Amino acid sequence: MLHLASKSPRRRELLRMLGLDFGILDLDIPEHPAPGEPPEEYVRRVAREKAGAGLLKVVGQPDAVVLGADTEVILDGRIYGKPVDAADAANMLRSLSGRTHKVISALSMVSAGRELHAVSESEVTFASLSNTDIATYLGTGEWDGKAGAYAIQGMAQAFVSQLSGSHSGVMGLPLFETARLLREFGFFPATGAAMPQVEAAR
């Protein structure tokens, strides 16, 4: 059985789009970069830790497969995580205003005898945001709990002048890469369609 190791309602909604039944594992994994840890490695590590912690919770199920994911907004080598309050969110949005930032979503899918990984990288360009734009957006509450202080599936779509990559990846679960991992684990029949490469555990 498939389990999603995530508290995120958005990831649950996205995974349901693939038409599979799955369980939810509510985990509390620390999400803090280690000193000197590159953002890309941090995102991969957190996804692996979520999947590994989830597998420990269902270790009694011989057919259990756990999907862990992490998504981060990165600008100038800095990780823009979840804002602590509205003032922090406003500062993040000011930094992203009129610039192109990177969004990395890492996936880790594990079972008792197998582990595979995939990464989706997207570039998102924001239009220049006025103080009114930012204040209005903060009033929606969408920023709360979102990396980079915005939800691309909500009102923040009006800020995005260009997106290169995966819309679902920016939301938090890149469906193309997720489907590839699921296929590798036998949840979908094999097809001849071109699929992204997955990375076996080292």
Residues carrying an active site annotation = 70
How many Å is the Cα radius of gyration of the chain? Answer: 17
Distance CA 76, CA 58 (A): 39
- Supply the angle between the helices 131-140 and 86-96 in degrees, to the nearest 10: 130
Q: E strands of the chain, at which residues? A: 2-5, 23-24, 65-75, 78-80, 100-110, 115-126, 160-164, 199-200
Cα separation, 48 vs 117, whole angstroms: 8
| CA gap 67, 179 in Å, rounded | 11
- Tell me which residue of 110, 100, 93, 83 sits closest to 185, measured CA to CA: 110
Asked whether the beta carbons of 127 and 98 are under 8 A apart, the reply is yes
